[in-house]
A and B are shown apart, each in its own frame.
Chain A
Amino acid sequence: MKNSRFFQLLMVLAGLAACTERYDIELDSSYARLVVDGKVTSDSLQHTLRLTTSTSYFYNEEPPAVTGAAVRLYDGEESIPYVEDAQRPGYYHAAEAFAGKAGRLYRIEIELAAPVGDFSSYEASSLMPLTFGRIDSITLKYEPSFDFYLLNLFATDPATTDFYKFDAYVNGKILTDTASRALVTDDKFFNGNNTNGLPVMFFRGDEIKPGDTITLQLAAITEDYYRFFLELQTGSGSSNPLFSGPAANIRTNVSNGALGYFAAARLARASLIVPQN
C-alpha cells in the first residue's frame, strides 16, 4: 500500500510535472562508526557477517572493511566462532554450517583488533521467530498496460502477530538485493487468513522472460528487524515534502553506537517457471 508512486502519477496528470536535476552540495562529515550487516537463517549453511565502517556521504567507494576482528555467535546453548574470509576483507563466516532454530535467541559478539568509534567490543542479538506463514502457491500475472508482472502469493498466516520479508530470485540470482525492491510487511491486514493472491513482488517486463525460474523467499522476521528494514527503505529512498516525515537515523540492534543490524529469520520458498506469454 505504498502510495507515493500513485501520487507521482497524480501530479504528472495534473500537468505539474516536477523536474529533477543534479545538484552540487557540500556536506559535513561525522566520525566513523562500526557497521554490522549479518544474519542467521533457518538454512543450513555457514552464515555470514560483514563488518565495515561508516564513511562521509560522498565517499563513493566500497565501504572500508574491518578486518582482524574476533566474532563469535551464541545460541543459548553453545557458541560458534566466525572465521574471516581470506578473499573478501570484512566478511566473516561461521566456522561450521548450521541451521538456525525457531525460538532461539542468537547473540553475536564482536571484538575488534583496533577500536572504531571509541569502542572495540560490540554485541547484538536477535530472536529466531517461532511462527511463520506456510506458502501454498504462487502465481504470476502480467499487466500489459504497464508492462510488468505481479507475483501473487497464496499462503496461510498463523493467528499470531507476524512480520515478513519477501525476496525474489531469478534463476537463482537475487533480484531484490537493494532495500527498495524487497518487501517487508506486518500481517495487520491478513492476520490468520490465507493471503489469497496478495501481490508481494513485481518484475519489470525486461527483468524476466519465459522459461526463467522465479523463486519467492518468505522470511519470518522479528518486529524490530521489520522496523529496521522499513527505516532502511525510507532512509535510502527518496523523499518529498508531501509524504515524508523528517529525516532520521535508522535504528540498529548493535551496541555501543554502531550501525546496521544482526537479524535472525526463518525462511520458506516457492518457485515457478515463467510461462510463454
Chain B
Amino acid sequence: MQRIVLFLIILFQVVSLQANLPTDENAERRTVTISGYIKDIETGETLLGATVFTNPGRFGTASNAYGFYSLRLEPGTYTITWSYIGYEPLNLLVQLRRDTTLSVSLHPENMQLGEVVVKSERFNADIAKAQMSVSKLDIKQVKQIPAFMGEVDIIKAIQLLPGVQATSEGGSGFSVRGGGPDQNLIMLDEAVVYNPSHLLGFFSVFNNDAVKSLELYKGDIPARYGGRLSSVLDVRMNDGNATSYHGQGGVGTISSRLTVEGPIQKNKSSFILAGRRTYADLFLALSSDENIKNNTLYFYDLNLKANYILYDKNRFFVTAYNGKDVFGNDFFNLGWGNTTATVRWNHLFSKALFSNFSFIYSRFNYQLGVPEGRPNAFDWLADMEDLSLKADLTWFANDKMSLRFGSQLTNHRFQPGEAGGVGEQTPFNIVKMPVGHALEAAVYVSSEHKVSQRMTVDYGLRFSLFSNYGPATVFAFDENFMKYDSAIYSKNDFYNTYTAFEPRISAAYAINEYTSIKAAYTRNVQYIHMAQNSTGGTPLDIWFPSSPNVKPQKGDQFSAGVFHNIAKYKVETSLEAFYKINHNAIDFKDFAELLLNEYLEGELRFGKARSYGLEALVRLTEGKLTGWVGYTWSRTLREIPEINNGKVYPAAYDRPHDISVVASYQLNNNISIGANWVYSTGAPVTFPTGRFVIGNTIAPVYSARNAYRLPDYHRLDVSVTYVPTPKNKRKWSGEWNLSVYNAYYRKNPWVINFVNDPATPNVTYAEMTYLFGIVPALTYNFKF
C-alpha cells in the first residue's frame, strides 16, 4: 500500500501554523525564517536531532537539544519534510512570505508486517554536516540491545560503538579512542555525572525509562563543550508527557522501575518522575544465616524533571537526579552516589536567535567505614561539588550560516578524603586531606557555514581559563618527586591560573547527496583529572585539579572520513581515521599511593600519550532488521620518562582489533529478537619474566610494562522480547524480555594471577579468573 503522505498531512490537526504579522523590516530582507519545535504527537516530547529539509533548494537543518529548529530561506513555495528515525516523516507544502513559526508533531512509526511504507526522501543530514565522529542513539534503539541482567543500559550500548571500549568486563567505565575513563565528559541534562556506575560498575546510573536520547562525541568535539580530552556523552532526559498521564516500568531480575509522567497544565507544563531500586538485599533478609541477613546491599536512582512553557518564547526546565549505592554489614559499610540538578531557561530572542541559560549543580561523594562499636571503627568521607552557570546562544544568521556562542563558569570544590576513628575509645586520629578550590571558565564561538552547495565548514574557538584559589598549601617537589617546600595561600587568593585557546575546524565536502568526505582538527584541554590507577574503576575516585605541579592535559586530534548513505536500504556507512596526541598525559608512579595521600601530586608522572586508528561502521536504521556492525583498528601508546624505563608502552586500553555486531530483528508483531557479539584483542598486561624469594615469599620480576596480552575477548548476548497482542483497547500494555549474557559461555579472563601453590612451597602457577558464566535474566516491562 502506498501512502502519499503529502495529502494526508492536511488531516493532521496538531500542526500549529501561525504566521507573524509582516513588518517593514521583513519586507526589506531577502530571506525569511521558518522555525519551531519538532515533537512526538503522542507524548509531546521534543525530538532532538530531527531533520528538516526543503525542496526545492535542498536546504536542511536539524533540531537542537531542545527540539527547536530554525531555517532561513528565500521567500517562495517549498515542500518541507520533517523526519526522525522511528517516526513517519511529515511533508507540508508551505508558502513562505514572511517569518513563520511552524511547530510540528510526528507520528511514531507503526510497523505493520507486509506493509511497505514508501517514504519520501529523507534529508541526509549527517552527510552534509561537517560534524564528524559523533554517534547518536535513541533510547528505543538502546532498548533493543540485549542487556546484562535485563538492565537496559545506555553506557553498555555506547561501548558497542566503534572507537569505544569497556575498560573492564561488565564495567561502566569506557575508553574512547584510547583515552582514559576520566577523559569522558558525561552529562545528564548538562550536569556532569562524575561516577556513572552502580555496584562496582556493573550497572550505570542512567535509568533508561527517564532517558530520551544520547549523543557521544568521540572527536571533533563542538566548541560548546569543554574540559575533557576524549569524548562528550550528552544524555538528555525525557521532558514528561505534555498531553496525558502515563506510567511505565519494569520488574527485573535485580531491580524494578517505575516512571510516571503527565501534564501539569496540558501542553504547557509537564513532569516526569522516575525511580529504580535493586532488591538483592530483600532476598538477603530471608536468609537464615545471620551473616548474610545483616547485610544491606542496594542501589537506587531517582530522576525528576518538570518543564513549563511561557508565551511560546520561554521554556523552563528543572531536572534533578539522585542515585546512591549502599552496602553495609556489622564489619564494614560503603556508600557512594551522585546528585545533580539543572535549572534551565530557553528563550527565543527572535525566530533566529535561540538561547539557553542553565544553572547546574553536581556532586559525587562516597563514604566507607567500620561501624561504631568495633575497636577499629572509623569513617572515611570524600566529596566533590560543582556549581556552574552556562549560557548558550544560537543565531541562525542566514541560509548559509548559523553561529553558536556562549560562556560557562564553574566552581569546583574537591574534598579528596577525610578519615578518622569513631567513638571515644578510638585509636585513630582524624586524617584530613586539604580541600581544593578552583574556578573553570570558558567562552566560545563557533559557526556552521555552508560555503557552497557541496561544502560545509564548522569552525570554532573556545577560550578556557582555570584558576586555583585558596585556602591552599602547595607543595614543591624536587626531581625525585620528594616534597621539599610548601607555600601557603590564604582564602580566595587566586594563586595559579592556566589559560588556553582551543581551536577547532571541520569540513565536509558532499560528493553527492549520499556521499561526503570530512576532515576535522580539534584541540581540547582538560583541567581536572582522576587519580585512578586500576582499569576497572572503583567508587573510590579521587578527582584532582591542575595546579602549579600539574599542568592541564592538552590534546590535539585529527580525523578524516568518508560517509555514505545507501538510501534505498536505509543504510549508513562510514569510515573514519583518527590520530590524537595528549601532550601532558598523566600517569602514576609504580605502587602509587592515591588515597588519603596529602602528597598525591608527588605520585604523578607526566609524559605523552598518542592514539591512532581506523573505525568502520555499517548501520541499518530502519526496517525489520536494525543494528550495526562496527570494526575498529587502533593503537594507544604512552611514553612517560619515569615509567617502563622511559620506553614507549601500550596503554591499558590498547586493544588493536575491536568488532561489535548489534542486531535486532522484528520477527512478527509479537516477537523481536536481539543479539550482539563483541570481539576485541586481549587487554595488554604485564606478566613476570622471573621471580625471587624473600623469606618464604615468591615475588615477581618484570621486564616491560604491558608486554603481554590477555587472550582475545569475545562474547555473544541474545534476547527475545514478546509483546502480547492487547486483548482489547486497554490502556495497559506489557512485554516480556528474556536476555542471556555470554550465551556461549566464553570464559573471558578478567585477570590472570600468578600464585604460589600452598601445598608445594616452590611451585608457582598461573590462575585465570573470569567473571560471568551464562547469565540469563527475565524482565517484564509495562506501560499504562
7 new A-B contacts, CB < 8 A, other than A60-B763, A192-B429, are A10-B334, A21-B767, A21-B768, A57-B688, A189-B419, A238-B755, A251-B591
Looking at B403-411, B456-464, B532-540, B552-560, the stretch in contact with chain A turns out to be B532-540
Q: Which of B353-396 contact A (CB under 8 A)?
A: 368, 375-376, 378
B702 touches A196 (CB 8 A): no
Contact with B along A231-242 (1 / 0, CB 8 A): 110111011111
Distance (Å) between the CB of B369 and the closest chain A CB?
10
A28 touches B689 (CB 8 A): yes
B762 touches A188 (CB 8 A): no
Looking at A11-19, A68-76, A77-85, A99-107, the stretch in contact with chain B turns out to be A11-19
Chain A CB within 10 A, most for which of B290, B536, B538, B751: B751
A158 within 8 A of B: no
B567 within 8 A of A: no
B771 touches A15 (CB 8 A): no
Q: A20-B768, A23-B766 are in contact. Are A37 and B701 (CB under 8 A)?
A: no
Distance (Å) between the CB of A32 and the closest chain B CB?
8
Q: List 28 A-B contacts (CB under 8 A).
A: A3-B332, A10-B297, A13-B284, A20-B768, A20-B769, A21-B768, A25-B752, A27-B689, A33-B701, A52-B692, A55-B691, A57-B764, A60-B762, A145-B290, A150-B375, A177-B696, A178-B695, A178-B696, A188-B429, A196-B426, A231-B591, A235-B699, A238-B753, A241-B751, A245-B590, A246-B590, A248-B591, A260-B692
- Bound CA span A230–B697, Å: 13
A240 touches B375 (CB 8 A): no
- Bound CA span A30–B534, Å: 26
- Bound CA span A198–B327, Å: 24
A29 within 8 A of B: yes
B687 within 8 A of A: yes
- Bound CA span A27–B707, Å: 11
B773 touches A19 (CB 8 A): yes
B431 within 8 A of A: yes
B749 within 8 A of A: yes
- Bound CA span A64–B674, Å: 58
- Bound CA span A3–B588, Å: 21
Q: A54-B691, A242-B536, A260-B692 are in contact. Are A60 and B697 (CB under 8 A)?
A: no
- Bound CA span A195–B702, Å: 38
B534 touches A241 (CB 8 A): yes
Q: Which of A38-62 contact B (CB under 8 A)?
A: 52-62
Q: Which residues of B contact A20 (CB under 8 A)?
A: 767-769
Q: Which residues of A contact B755 (CB under 8 A)?
A: 238
Contact of A199 among B202, B375, B690, B751 (CB under 8 A): B375
- Bound CA span A190–B694, Å: 29
A184 within 8 A of B: no
Contact with B along A76-100 (1 / 0, CB 8 A): 0000000000000000000000000
- Bound CA span A100–B754, Å: 37
Q: Which residues of A contact B764 (CB under 8 A)?
A: 57-58, 60
Chain A CB within 10 A, most for which of B425, B596, B766: B766
Q: Which residues of A contact B767 (CB under 8 A)?
A: 20-23, 238
B111 within 8 A of A: no
- Bound CA span A24–B772, Å: 20
Distance (Å) between the CB of A274 and the closest chain B CB?
19
- Bound CA span A23–B766, Å: 5
| Chain A interface, >50% SS class | loop
Closest to A196 in B: B427
A7 touches B200 (CB 8 A): yes
Contact of B693 among A14, A27, A35, A235 (CB under 8 A): A35
A205 within 8 A of B: no
Q: Which of B399-425 contact A (CB under 8 A)?
A: 419-421, 425
A250 within 8 A of B: yes
B697 touches A190 (CB 8 A): no
Q: How large is the interface on A (under 10, 10 to 19, 20 to 34, 35 or more residues)?
A: 35 or more
B699 touches A246 (CB 8 A): no
Closest to A241 in B: B536
Contact of B697 among A33, A141, A179, A248 (CB under 8 A): A179
B733 within 8 A of A: no
- Bound CA span A248–B199, Å: 28
A189 touches B429 (CB 8 A): yes
Closest to A240 in B: B751
Distance (Å) between the CB of A17 and the closest chain B CB?
9
Q: A56-B690, A199-B375, A235-B700 are in contact. Are A193 and B429 (CB under 8 A)?
A: yes
B693 touches A30 (CB 8 A): no
Distance (Å) between the CB of B239 and the closest chain A CB?
34
B375 touches A198 (CB 8 A): yes
Closest 6 CB pairs of A and B: A248-B590, A196-B427, A245-B533, A23-B768, A241-B536, A242-B536
Closest to A60 in B: B763
Q: Which residues of B contact A191 (CB under 8 A)?
A: 429
Q: Which of A130-150 contact B (CB under 8 A)?
A: 141, 145-146, 150
A277 within 8 A of B: no
B168 within 8 A of A: yes
B765 within 8 A of A: yes
Q: Which residues of B contact A247 (CB under 8 A)?
A: 685-688, 700, 702, 705
Q: Which residues of B contact A241 (CB under 8 A)?
A: 168-169, 534-536, 750-751
- Bound CA span A164–B749, Å: 37
B690 touches A55 (CB 8 A): yes
B703 within 8 A of A: yes
B652 within 8 A of A: yes
B751 touches A239 (CB 8 A): yes
A259 within 8 A of B: yes
Distance (Å) between the CB of A243 and the closest chain B CB?
6
Q: Which residues of A contact B290 (CB under 8 A)?
A: 145
Distance (Å) between the CB of B150 and the closest chain A CB?
13
Q: Which residues of B contact A52 (CB under 8 A)?
A: 692-693
A54 touches B692 (CB 8 A): yes
A197 touches B297 (CB 8 A): no
B348 within 8 A of A: no
Distance (Å) between the CB of A226 and the closest chain B CB?
11
Closest to B430 in A: A189
Q: Which residues of B contact A25 (CB under 8 A)?
A: 687, 752, 766
Q: A25-B752, A236-B699, A242-B200 are in contact. Are A18 and B769 (CB under 8 A)?
A: yes
